[in-house]
Homo-oligomer: A and B are copies of this chain.
Amino acid sequence: MPRSHAALPRLFVTPDLTAGAQLTLAKEQSLYLAAVLRKIVGDEVVLFNGRDGAWLTRLFSDSKKSVTLDLIEKIATQTPVSDLWYGFAPLKTERLDYVIQKAVEMGAGTIQPVITRFTQVSRLKHERLVANAIEAAEQCEVLSVPTVEPEITLEKLLDSWPADRKLILADESEASSSPVEALQGLKGHKVGVLIGPEGGFSDDERAKLRALPYVVPISLGPRILRADTAAVAALAVIQAIIGDWR
């Protein structure tokens, strides 16, 4: 995308985006553009909806209650929705927001909170997580918003895990070795990655996971990583070796 578009606000919307169309935003986004960002008639905004790429638009009306935008031109082709599944044991509020943000930045397609034995929280405000994912997508300029699933227990997750998807397990008990070979062997497969809680998996959970034929344990190095660091580190090596860094 040309550098000049980089400074424009980007908003995720649901309607179709087509040439010559006009779109009126809902109250919340209108207020954000007109009152918070103080955009006026003639100012430009980028829209995306996960289907039609990114569009350059111009304000036709700057009413705080309902901003209307004229679609000018498509400035980015839609990229395929990511197939990368990302599961993690949720943390408390701020750190949870941060992990969602990092997962979006790193190109996860599905974000799945997983409740394990040593998980800190068990009830999540799903709408809040979705809002965070949308905001993160807008800010890091991805062209679709990952699906944020409602939380699920580890048990239920494994009971319903599709046999054709590999599950990369970031396991602190895995002897330190480079994940390069383990990951390269997964080229062409559908993959997911599961990051355990900061307290680790229980012995039972670990034994159960390691016994599953689709589980691929990898080490994330010899140091203890916080949950958000582990998220980025794991997604980075996966995306770099077998994901969309090519």
Contact = CB atoms under 8 A, between A and B. Distances in A.
Q: What is the count of identical protomers in the complex?
A: 2
A219 B229 CA distance: 19
A contact face: mostly helix, strand, loop, or mixed: loop
A102 B102 CA distance: 14
A223 interface: yes
A240 B226 contact: no
Contacts of A243: 221
A106 B244 contact: no
A226 B140 contact: yes
A142 B243 CA distance: 30
A246 interface: yes
A224 B106 contact: no
A220 interface: yes
A234 to B, nearest CB: 8
Interface residues of A, number: 35
A73 interface: no
Nearest to A183: B240
Given A102-B229, A178-B240, A220-B236, 12 more contacts: A106-B229, A107-B222, A140-B224, A176-B244, A177-B245, A178-B245, A220-B245, A221-B243, A221-B245, A222-B244, A233-B235, A234-B236
